[in-house]
Amino acid sequence: MSSEPENQPQPTPSGNDPDPVVIEPDPTPEEDPTPPPPPPPDDTMGLVVTVEPGTWYEVTSVCSTDTCPNLNTSTTEPMVYSNAGAIRMVCGVCGKFRPILEVVKLDPQPEMS
Ligand SMILES: [Zn+2]
């Protein structure tokens, strides 16, 4: 027989703090190594022009990078090799792909040995 008085200490209410809201930063999405380039202006052939493989072309391109000193400056490369059949031009100043304005197959093709 026990006659303990029921005077156990009540847990002190501590203000009923709600759980703190933990704002987790968004997980960084894995960056695509080759982000899709912005659509080129209408008067260009695009950033990649499909041509005959293994052929030399004269390629005129223009830089469309807002921050580039070469913005809207078109340049003609007299000899561009198409390799597997695609031509891409990279701006030597800003390093971005340049929309291609014109591709002209060299005729005759230069002799490369
Ligand atoms: Zn540029």
The pTM of the full predicted model, rounded to 2 decimals, is 0.61
How far does the centroid of ligand 1 lie from the alpha carbon of residue 54, in Å? 26
Assigned domain for 53 exists: yes
54 Rama class: left (phi>0) / alpha (psi -120 to 50) / beta:
left
How far does the centroid of ligand 1 lie from the alpha carbon of residue 87, in Å? 17
What pLDDT is attached to residue 78? Answer: 96
How far does the centroid of ligand 1 lie from the alpha carbon of residue 98, in Å? 7
How many domains does one find in the chain?
A: 1
Assigned domain for 42 exists: no
Per-residue pLDDT of the chain (113 residues; tens, 9 = 90+): 556 666 666 666 666 777 888 888 887 777 777 766 665 556 889 999 999 999 999 999 999 999 999 999 999 999 999 999 999 999 999 999 999 999 999 999 998 77
What pLDDT is attached to residue 104? Answer: 97
Assigned domain for 110 exists: no
Domain range for 95 is: 48-105
